[in-house]
Amino acid sequence: MAYETIIVEIEDHVALIKLNRPDALNALNEQLLSELATAVGEAQQNDKVRCVVLTGSEKAFAAGADIKMMSEKSFVDVFTEDLFTADIDAIQRIRKPIIAAVSGYALGGGCELAMMCDFIICSDTAKFGQPEINLGVIAGLGGTQRLTRFVGKSKAMDMNLTGRFMDAEEAERSGLVSRVVPVKKLMEEAMSAAQKIAEKSMISVMAAKESVNRSYETTLREGLLFERRVFHSLFASEDQKEGMAAFTEKRQAQFRDK
Ligand code: CO8
């Protein structure tokens, strides 16, 4: 499908989705989120795709929701339209792994979009923030909820109340991102992480993603039970037999997603 606000490339089982509104620092509008939801849905359906990388430009992953688009809207408009919700729900439904590769600004909805991904790899130039407070509103796509779980209450309050930006070093120290790399190495690092995941059994990859995500939704006791049952169920797969046989025979496993 032809897109106007994103670019999609599929390379070695990885779908690379690049946000592409350079004049607005990839600000999120209805068209971009709708195209992104479609692309993510297509990646889920495409058997050739085993992992997704979501990125922006070197200057901005995304500088937030489009302020110019939102500025004239009333409460009734945003309430009745339920702005962005359907597309955001669709993006979050992907069961294949999705990595955010963040360079430059990831602000407001941009930071929230990165946090919706399974993990974030960022460049040393990345800047994260929830500056909605400066616009007379608050975060609306998880900036008060997911960020708090990533970095704890104190830093989440600081970010949401002052609107200050967090640099890459602080983001790694606080657990918001999994890796920081020099800006020129960002895409190489993200694509290589995606390719590493793409080599695994898709069944155990999807099961691992589901189990980690479950830890956000339930008690420790229920989460541990869920994990154990999923672990047990993977013994019904051929890939479990292959993975363990390959270890014993000192060879590379050949997973077949069965
Ligand atoms: N929306 C629209 N346009 C934007 C945005 C944005 N969020 N960010 C940047 N732009 C545009 C600028 O207006 C400018 O366009 P133009 O040249 O036509 O004026 C162009 O991008 C370049 O931006 P700057 O000239 O400002 O570039 P600088 O390098 O000087 O500054 C900054 C970069 C610091 C990133 C600055 O652009 C900035 O502060 N941007 C706004 C950041 C922000 O406040 N983000 C939060 C937005 S609100 C939000 O995300 C809420 C999400 C929740 C939605 C919930 C729905 C339920």
Q: Give residue 1's pLDDT.
A: 74
Place of tokens 């897109």: 3
Q: How far apart are CA 107 and CA 109, in angstroms?
A: 6
Sheet of 127-129, strand order: 60-62, 105-107, 127-129, 165-167
Question: What domains, with CATH codes, occur in the chain?
Answer: 6-198 (3.90.226.10), 200-249 (1.10.12.10)
Average pLDDT over residues 121-146: 98
Chain segment 205-225, per-residue pLDDT in tens: 999 999 999 999 999 999 999
Q: Which one of the listed residues 56, 100, 112, 140 is annotated catalytic?
A: 112
Catalytic residue among 65, 100, 139, 190: 65
ipTM of predicted assembly, 2 dp: 0.98
Say if CB 189 and CB 182 are below 8 A apart: no
Ligand 1 centroid, distance to 11 Cα (angstroms): 31
Mean predicted lDDT score pLDDT of the chain: 97
Kindly tell me if the per-residue pLDDT of 15 is higher than 90: yes
Q: Residue 65: left (phi > 0), alpha (psi -120 to 50), or beta? A: beta
Helix (H, G, I), strand (E, B) or coil at 55: strand
Testing ligand 1's pocket by substitution, the residue of 29, 67, 77, 130 carrying the most ligand atoms inside 8 A of its CB is 67
**CA 215 to chain CA centroid, nearest Å:** 17
pLDDT band at 239 (very low <50, low <70, confident <90, very high): very high
Cα separation, 60 vs 25, whole angstroms: 6
Q: Is 132 a catalytic residue?
A: yes
Catalytic residue check, 35 = no
Give the pLDDT score at 74. Answer: 97
Report the candidate in 222, 226, 189 with the shortest Cα–Cα distance to residue 207.
226
Told to judge if 156 belongs to the known catalytic residues of this protein, a careful annotator would answer: no
Q: Is 112 a catalytic residue?
A: yes
Answer yes or no: is the C-beta of 66 below 6 A from any ligand 1 atom: yes
